[in-house]
Amino acid sequence: MRLVGLAVFFFSLLETSCGPSQPTYTDRVQDVAPDGVDPRLAELTKLAAGKSFNEFTSLVVVWKDWLDSTETPIPLVEGNRLTFVYYDATDSLDQVWLAASFCPAPLPLLRWEATRLFFRTFVIPKPAGVKYQFVASPAHPKASILSDVFHPDVTSGVAPLSCFPSSTSPRIHSIDASLIPALASQNLRILLPPDYDRDLSHSWPLMVLTGQSDLVWDQVPTAAIANGTVIPLVIVALVPDSSHPLTAQSLPIHWNRDVLPWLSSHYRVVTSAGSVFWLAWGDTGPAVSEAAAAHPDLFGNVWTPPAGMKTEDPAVWNQSMAQVLRTSFPKVAP
């Protein structure tokens, strides 16, 4: 039976087990033996050696610098061979499992030479669109999802999925501040444009979004970028921890001291004050406006909803976001 799409592929596997002993499985996705793994795992192990949880930010930077220098994505890719990698930064797990769209049951990862690095390699004929999660328990995968800190590409949803994207798909990075102390409890959701990983020399325009933590806020900008009505850009949504609400007094300090340095060191974005566009939604508008007025050196353009706008209405959000994008980031015809 021919493979006509990832969904068909997934459902065709529901009656099979995910292992190399099943011919109906291995003629599609093949499990690679440990002696045939990607040699770059050894390099990653050396980079991560000796790093503790308190040095987690440094570990991420080292990992990112190495990936950028070798132009290597995660999972590690060599043709149709993908190596899924998880690093146990807290050194607390005896086993990590991979729950993937090409397999109906979680698969155990292998530990690399008694280190904190876990991996498993597959030959996948059509990797674009593969979605996966790392979990701590195969019996309760939804309740034991592990944050994929080195490859935080996720789809919208309650249980985020990492994904191996096609070159034309915008991607969302979900940054959990509890795993990155430098962010001081500031969670981030970052929308990257389609060609972000294919053009390593380019720095992208930046929009900062506040007051919109809905998991589907990215639909409007994703569509606008896809249909060519706006220029590709990076959008960062600030999602503060409930114990650290956004205020006019805390925002300038938090942005300048914590978020901006981390963002600048991890993403290729234009972060000079005059180049950053702020969209302050809902009740965050007054705080952002006040902070920008008091610290014009830290903030660029700020847009807030006019008085009386029903910001709780999804339709109002869609219309406003589309208008702001068209006005502030218009696609100029060549």
pLDDT band for 92, please (50, 70, 90 cuts): confident
Same domain, 99 and 195: no
**How far apart are the C-alpha atoms of 120 and 38, rounded to whole Å?**
10
DSSP line for 205-268: -EEEEES---TTTTHHHHHHHHTTSB---EEEEEEE-TTS---TTHHHHHIIIIIHHHHHHHS-
Maximum average pLDDT range among 17-31, 81-95, 170-184? 81-95
Same domain, 225 and 236: yes
pLDDT tens digits, one per residue of 242-256 = 777 888 998 988 898
pLDDT band for 309, please (50, 70, 90 cuts): confident
Same domain, 187 and 157: no
Same domain, 230 and 202: yes
Same domain, 157 and 17: yes
116, 134, 166: which is the final residue of a domain?
166
Same domain, 197 and 154: no
Same domain, 280 and 310: yes
**How far apart are the C-alpha atoms of 241 and 150, rounded to whole Å?**
21
Percent of the chain with pLDDT over 90: 13
Q: Domains in the chain: how many in total?
A: 2
Tell me the residue range of the domain where 129 lies: 1-166
pLDDT band for 334, please (50, 70, 90 cuts): very low
Kindly report whether the peptide bond that precedes residue 20 is cis, defined as omega within 30 degrees of 0: no
pLDDT band for 10, please (50, 70, 90 cuts): very low
Q: Which two tokens stand for residue 155?
A: 């789809």
91-105, 116-130, 279-293: which has the minimum mean pLDDT?
A: 116-130
pLDDT band for 107, please (50, 70, 90 cuts): very high
Same domain, 150 and 214: no
CATH number for the domain spanning 59: value is 2.60.40.10
Question: What's residue 146's pLDDT?
Answer: 84
Average pLDDT, the chain: 77
CATH number for the domain spanning 285: value is 3.40.50.1820
Same domain, 124 and 190: no
Same domain, 185 and 153: no
Percent of the chain with pLDDT over 70: 73
The answer to whether the Cα torsion of 219, 225, 229, 232 is positive or negative is: positive
25 vs 204, more confident: 204
Question: What's residue 157's pLDDT?
Answer: 45
Beta strands 234-240 and 186-192 are antiparallel
Question: What's residue 160's pLDDT?
Answer: 59
Same domain, 10 and 158: yes
pLDDT band for 52, please (50, 70, 90 cuts): low
166, 199, 225: which is the final residue of a domain?
166
Instruction: Tell me: pLDDT of 278 over 50.
Output: yes
131, 166, 201: which is the final residue of a domain?
166
Instruction: Tell me: pLDDT of 95 over 50.
Output: yes
Is the pTM value of this prediction over 0.75?
Answer: no
197-211, 267-281, 286-300: which has the minimum mean pLDDT?
A: 197-211
Element at 192 (helix H, strand E): strand 186-192
